[in-house]
Structure 1
C-alpha cells in the first residue's frame, strides 16, 4: 500500500466509529443526491468509497430488489460500521481500493462517490478507473453533503484556486478521464457534480 493510501486509511480508521454521530443530519442530502443520479429499477450501481454506507439505503431504494448495489471502501473499520449500522443488507460490501477495482469493465450503470475526490492520490487516473467499470452512457455523481466554502470553513481553511472540486478544475479533469460533466452545484447545503461516461 502506498503512503497516500496508508494515510487515507489511517485518517478514516481513526474516525470510523464516530462518523455517523458527528454528521447525523446528512441523510436527506444523500437521498437527494442519489435521486439526481437518475437510477432505475434493475440498475447496477457502485458506491465508491462508501464509508459507513450512508448512501446504500437510498441507492437500494432507487434500484429496487432487482438491482445491484456494491459498496467499496479501503478501510476495514468503515465497512465494520456499515455492518454495525445494519446497512450491509442494502448492498454487497467489498474491501478494495477504488484506484484498482477488482471489478469487470462496464459492469455498472452508475457510480456514486461521496467525499471521495479529495482523497484520490492520482485524480485523473483514479477517475479513469471509475470510468472503466461503468458502461458508456452511465453516470457518475461526485457528492459532498456540504459545499466547498462550508467545508473549508469547517476545516478552518480557505478555498484555493487549485481546489480540485472547483468547476474550472473539475470539468477538464473529468473530460480527460472519460467523463462529460452534465451539471455542477456548489452551495452551502451540498456539492454535487454529475457526469456521463463517454463513448
Structure 2
C-alpha cells in the first residue's frame, strides 16, 4: 500500500473515477460504523481521508442540520468524485493532509477514518495530529468494510504481525498518540477500532 503523499495521491487518483462502482455495497457498513461513534445532534465531526465521501451522508444524519461535518482528503480527484456524487451537500470538503489540518485544537467531537490508518506515512504523529483537533473524551473510529484477513486475501497476501491494524500494534500506537482504544473488532466483513481522546 502507498505510504508517502505522492504515492497516496497517485494510487487514489488512478482509482477515483470508478471507486464507488468498484465497492457498491459498502454504504451500510459505513453507516453502521458511523453509528458506533455515538454522535449526537450538534456535534462536529471530521471524516479524515474521506475519499469519495461515502460516510458523509451518515455523518450528517447523525449530527443533524445543526452539526458540523468536514471531509478532508489529500487527493483532489477523490474530492471531485465526492462532488459529482452530490456528497458535498452533506459536509464541507477540504483538500488537506490529516497531519496538518487547518483546524483549531479541540474543535471537534469525533473523527471517522475509513481505510486511513494503513495509508499513513507516519502513523504515530499523524494520529497525534488527529488527536490535537479533538476535545478530551472525543471519539475516533478507524474503520474498513473488510477485516484484516479478508482485505489481505483480496490483495493476494496474508495477514502479518507487523500490520499496524493488529490490536497488539494498534493499542500502544493509539496510546502514544493521545488515544485510548476502547473497542476492537476484526471480522471478515468489518474492521472497527473505537478510541477515546485522552486528556
Report the TM-score, using the length of structure 2 for normalisation.
Answer: 0.98
1:132 and 1:99 map into 2 onto residues whose CA distance is 10
2:28 maps to which residue? 28
Deviation at 1:65, TM superposition (A): 0.1
Correspondence 1:102 to 2:97: no
> Cα RMSD (Å) of the superposition?
0.7
Q: Output aligned runs, 1:1-20, within 5 Å.
A: 4-20=4-20
Return the alpha-carbon distance in structure 2 between the equivalents of residues 105 and 175 of structure 1.
Answer: 19
| 1:29-75 residue CA offsets vs partner (Å, 9 max, x unmatched) | 00000000000000000000000000000000000000000000000
Q: CA deviation at 1:98?
A: 0.5
Distance 1:103 1:11 in 2: 26
TM-score after normalising by structure 1: 0.98
Flag structure 1 segments of 5+ consecutive residues without an equivalent.
Answer: none
Residues 97-132 of structure 1, C-alpha deviations (whole Å, 9 max, x = no match): 001111110110000000000110000000000000
- 3-state DSSP of counterpart to 1:46: strand
Q: Which residue of 1 aligns with 2:52?
A: 52
Tell me the residue number matched to 1:143: 143
Partners of 1:160 and 1:149 in 2: CA distance = 9
1:116 aligns with 2:116: yes
Aligned positions of 1:151-162 closer than 5 A: 151-162=151-162
Inter-partner Cα distance in structure 1 for 2:55 and 2:47:
7
2: CA distance, partners of 1:95 / 1:122: 19
Q: Gapped runs of 5+ residues in structure 2?
A: none
User: Using the alignment, how far apart are the partners of 1:189 and 1:121 within structure 2?
Assistant: 26
Encode CA deviations 1:9-42: one digit per residue, 9 max, x unaligned: 0000000001000000000000000000000000
- Secondary structure of 2:180's counterpart equals strand
Report how many aligned residue pairs link the two structures: 197
Partner Cα distance (1:129, 1:75) in 2: 19
Match of 1:190 in 2: 190
Q: Secondary structure at the match of 1:185?
A: strand
Q: CA deviation at 1:4?
A: 1.1
- Report the Cα distance in structure 1 between the residues aligned to 2:113 and 2:47, rounded to whole angstroms: 6
